[in-house]
Structure 1
């Protein structure tokens, strides 16, 4: 079976994507299970060319950028259109992005707990 893959952006113009690999499980509260699409779970920051931090609530993970042995394509399936505007029975895959790296967080998270504020004694 032959599947045609098209890249509309030309040579080397596809968006670069990355896989974020975490140890453990990321679970959503039962109160927001139905609203998980576009839900922000944390903040990913690049601290240097290959070092990253991922902050989730009061936890900070440190990770690094690791190249994949074989790249992945991110594809979007679509129906081919005929000249008269009708959809044909053949499907095509459109390249949305290329994944060449993963951001690996393999260590335990560091707790971000601020020091308690010191109360000043009033002189009296």
Structure 2
């Protein structure tokens, strides 16, 4: 079966994937599927990528993927039987965080 793949303007946005060890959990027990801010992503002067989550900072690096991923949105056709997929993004690179997070603050009196 052939499924048409298109993007709205003929080109797709370029996205990046974040890869890290461990799990992300919300303190309030909410789902990660809901939209919320995870942290702040920035680049250091050395070219490293920094992800700050609360009082922790992770340092990572950008890597190009050998094979890009396509992000698609599924749409039902007007007749209700046909399915169309629209390309909304292309993931060409990933940001890899391998090391443990570094605490940004310490308790007073601890050296």
Pick the aligned partner of 1:92 from 84, 87, 90: 84
> Where is the helix percentage greater, Structure 1 or Structure 2?
1
Q: Which residue of 1 aligns with 2:12?
A: 14
Picking from 26, 40, 51, the partner of 1:28 is 26
Q: Which runs of 5+ in 1 are unaligned?
A: 82-86, 117-124
Runs of 4+ in structure 1 deviating by more than 4 angstroms, as ranges, are none
CA-atom RMSD, angstroms?
A: 2.2
Kindly provide the CA deviation profile for residues 51-103 of structure 1, in whole angstroms up to 9, marking residues without a partner as x: 2100011111111110111000000000123xxxxx34100000000000000
Task: Give the length in aligned residue pairs.
Answer: 108
**Counterpart Cα distance in 1 of 2:46 and 2:83:** 39
**1:111 maps to 2:103:** yes
Aligned residues of 2:75 and 2:85 also touching (Cα < 8 A): yes
Residue segments in structure 2 that go unaligned for 5+ positions in a row: none
